[in-house]
Amino acid sequence: MDKTLNIGVIGLGMGRRHAESVQETPNARVTWVCDTDEKKLEETAAELNVPNRCTDYRDMLNDETLDAVIIASPDGLHRQMIVDALAAKKHILCEKPLALTREDIEAIVEAVHNSDRVFMVGQICRYTPGFYEAKKRIDAGEIGELTFIESEYAHDYTHILVGNTWRCDPLRNGVVGGACHAVDLLRWISGENPEKITAYSTHKTFADLTPYDDTHVAIMKFPNNIIGKVFASISCRRDYTMRSVFYGTKGTIITDNTSPTMTVFHLNGDGASSTPETVELDINNHNTTGEFAEFFDCVVNGTPVRTTVEEGANTIAACLAIVQSANTDQTVVPQYFA
Ligand SMILES: NC(=O)c1ccc[n+]([C@@H]2O[C@H](COP(=O)([O-])OP(=O)(O)OC[C@H]3O[C@@H](n4cnc5c(N)ncnc54)[C@H](O)[C@@H]3O)[C@@H](O)[C@H]2O)c1
């Protein structure tokens, strides 16, 4: 396609970052922004020099010159917006989590399968420098076969929850809404879906604030004899991070999304661990520019999408299994999408 890609952005919280990334990309521009908050809408449109604005996203979908939309609205709204945007023949980059319920996920998967448009789910950790570097080294065999992989979503939501009612929706708990990042990371790093999940949860810190438990730990059994663990807390008393450790038969990688370095342990000639290697990294835990560059490539050059609708759906299937296991005190076998 030898033309500029016209993009609409729906929801201007995280969507504002997406809009800025689009404006930085050659041959792409934001031609519409949408938000129900009119003040935010006016300010964003003016600051980013966007010609069209609306409070009802369906107005932008009627514009035949609009090629694609970035959906960054509250999670429970993703389903209807996806269905409507595909019906209007728009390509879509949709924020994680794909949706909050199995019913919504099934409807989204069906709508995407019945469409010829590009659909990408925004699993941003796959563009985070530390995680990207770890994945490259693991796939190259640098730490041998994976044995145990762990990640965490440690994010104190004390301020985020103030006045943010959609994040207090019982369906939008810290696992599906937040720790989908850590679950997706383990799925991507291992290249597998966890077969069985056992989880526990507590509700001590936010007992009066959230209608769902605020801290979960999940143990997962992956194929190829890999064990996984996710720690998910929206009430932890510390700075935000996603500390992750990937243990292999020949080495170990320790990394996160908030530090300027990662640590890699290799084997010495005698079979023991050597002095660790320190790898310098950019800190970029919301690499929307890298993510949009890939979306652009998929739309314009037909490059296959990596974070497909099934990837987004299966990450949420595993998250729903974590919540179910913690709530029922049972091991759960997640139900995946082909
Ligand atoms: N990739 C990441 O790391 C990351 C980080 C934060 C949020 N998110 C995801 O991005 C999405 C938005 O989260 P956020 O943090 O920006 O939330 P937010 O509450 O800060 O912003 C959401 C915006 O959507 C607007 N909105 C609400 N209903 C709307 C509607 N019907 N039409 C248009 N706009 C509407 C709100 O007015 C608000 O401005 C969620 O899906 C969230 O899970 C992803």
Do residues 96 and 189 share a domain? no
Domain at 190, CATH number: 3.30.360.10
Domain that includes residue 275, residue range:
126-283+316-328
The structural domain count of the chain equals: 2
CA distance 170 to 213: 10
What are the tokens at 21? 């990334």
DSSP 148: E
pLDDT attached to residue 174: 95
Of 73, 83, 172, the one to substitute when testing ligand 1's pocket (max ligand atoms within 8 A of C-beta) is: 73
- Co-location of 279 and 156 in the same domain: yes
Residues 93, 176: one domain? no
Whether residue 72 is found in the same domain as residue 212: no
Same domain assignment for residues 159 and 260: yes
Residue 336 lies in a domain: no
> What's the confidence (pLDDT) of residue 11?
98
Number of the ligand 1 atom closest to the C-alpha atom of 34? 33
- Greatest Cα pair distance, the chain, in angstroms, is 67
pLDDT along the chain (338 residues), means of 10: 87 98 97 98 98 98 98 98 98 98 98 98 97 98 97 96 88 96 98 98 95 97 97 97 97 96 91 88 91 97 97 98 98 95
Task: List the residue whose alpha carbon is closest to atom 20 of ligand 1.
Answer: 13
Q: Which atom of ligand 1 is nearest to 164's Cα? A: 19
Distance 138 CA to ligand 1 centre (A): 33
Distance from the alpha carbon of residue 171 to the mean position of ligand 1, in angstroms? 15
CATH number of the domain at 75, please: 3.40.50.720
231 to each of 151, 156, 221, 227, 326, how far by Cα in Å?
A: 7, 13, 15, 14, 13
Question: Model's pTM, two decimal places?
Answer: 0.97
Task: Tell me, yes or no, whether 311 lies in a domain.
Answer: no
Nearest ligand 1 atom to the CA of 37 is: 37
202 within domain boundaries = yes
Does residue 225 share a domain with residue 264? yes
Find the DSSP H helices in the chain. Answer: 14-24, 38-47, 57-61, 78-87, 102-113, 129-139, 174, 180-190, 288-301, 309-328
- Ligand 1 center–CA 94 separation, angstroms: 11
Q: What is the pLDDT of residue 163?
A: 82
Residues 33, 68: one domain? yes
Domain assignment present for 338: no
Residues 184, 92, single domain; the answer is no
CA-nearest residue, atom 11 of ligand 1: 72
- Helix, strand, or coil (residue 127): helix
In a domain, 219, yes or no: yes
pLDDT for the residue 271: 79
Same domain membership, residue 27 and residue 106: yes
**d(CA 191, ligand 1 centre) in Å:** 29
Do 191 and 203 belong together in one domain? yes
Task: Examine residue 334 and state whether it is found in any structural domain, yes or no.
Answer: no
Give the model's pLDDT for residue 2: 61
Is 257 inside a domain boundary? Answer: yes
Question: Ligand 1 mean position to 196 CA, how many Å?
Answer: 31
33 and 147 share a domain? Answer: no
**How many A from CA of 72 to the centre of ligand 1?**
5
Give nearest CA residue, ligand 1 atom 5: 14
**Residues 6+ positions from 328 with CB-CB distance below 8 Å:** none
Both tokens assigned to 158? 């004390």
Residues 130 and 182 in one domain: yes
- 169 within domain boundaries: yes
Ligand 1 pocket at CB < 6 A: 10-14, 34-37, 40, 57, 72-75, 77, 95-96, 122, 124, 164, 177, 286
